[in-house]
Chain A
Amino acid sequence: MRLREITEGMTSADKILLIALILLSASGFIFIKKAFPQGSDVGIEVNGKPVYRLPLNKDTTVRVIGASGDTIVEIKNRKVRIKESACPKQICIHNGWIDRGALICLPNKVVVSIGGEDRQDKTIDAITG
């Protein structure tokens, strides 16, 4: 039988290498999935209502209409910023690029938050009487 001829022809180094490669790729699957969570996305809310849910890994620019005018949100290189806003103090623009947390424009009632599907930061810290 030829198959036996081959498996007997495999040296022990061959077998060790084969097992090492399978372990390497299997552990790679696990570690890389953990290092780069795929679920992370950007949620944009206006006046408390969600209007957009965009993937963080896709560069794009969107315009939303807030309470006092337009707000332009830009996603680039897994980071988000508010590019333009119709609010008086422009605090949200000065916050710059963020890769976690949220950007909040109070006058315009726009909230841009980053989080995954299974976001942990939404759990309640404590409830007081």
Chain B
Amino acid sequence: MQSRDKYRIALLSAYAIAIHSFESMLPTPIPWLRLGIANIITLATLVLYGFRAAMMVTLIRVILSSIFIGTFLGPGFIMSFGGGVASTFAMGVVFSIFPRLFGPVGLSLIAALFHNVAQLFLAYFLFVQKIEPILLVSPVLILLGTITGIMNGFIGHLLINNIRDKKVNSPHH
């Protein structure tokens, strides 16, 4: 890995950790309802620097934030880890195979969907072990995930365009 890539991953991970930690302090009506704004960084990393960088940023974010918040290896961490890896993996696979098919909004929607599906599976296998409450809550989560997904996709789109514009205008590149 080149030092420029390392620098980028470190910087993007730092942003993602800051957002993730901030978000975990926001009160939410349901304990595991999250806005997923840290995924904006993963999304931008994927589109600008590729699958590998995006996965690294996600892993660094999930692990380090959980250590900072104090949930490392706890149930919250397992949910966050599973959701983060599944959503990044799904986005990455779709983006690698069909790079032009989905824009940032579509990728963000895929991420939100897989984040929820992974967390529902984890909740079923690890905590609830009853299919009925999982099925009852899943349409709500998918709908909320679609709303936050589209919002994050919009912001991600702006962020990606901004970084691209800066790169073109910057005298150093």
CB distance from A60 to the nearest CB of B (A): 16
- Chain A residues with a Cβ under 8 A of chain B: 2, 5-6, 9-11, 13-14, 17-18, 21-22, 24-26, 28-29, 32, 35-36, 57, 78
6 tightest A-B contacts by CB?
Answer: A28-B139, A14-B106, A25-B143, A25-B142, A21-B146, A25-B139
Q: State the Cβ distance, A86 to closest chain B Cβ, in Å.
A: 33
Total number of residue pairs linking A and B with CB closer than 8 Å: 70
Contacts from B to A (Cβ < 8 Å): 100-106, 109-110, 113, 132, 135-136, 138-140, 142-143, 146, 149-150, 153-154, 157-158, 161
A13-B106 contact, Cβ under 8 Å, with A18-B146, A25-B143: yes
Q: With A21-B146, A25-B146 as given contacts, are A14 and B102 in contact (CB-CB < 8 Å)?
A: yes
Q: Would you give the shortest CB distance from B159 to chain A, in whole angstroms? A: 11
Docked-complex contact B157 and A9, CB < 8 angstroms: yes
Collect the chain A residues with CB atoms within 8 Å of residue B157's CB. 5-6, 9
Contacts of B132 in A (CB 8 A): 36, 57, 78
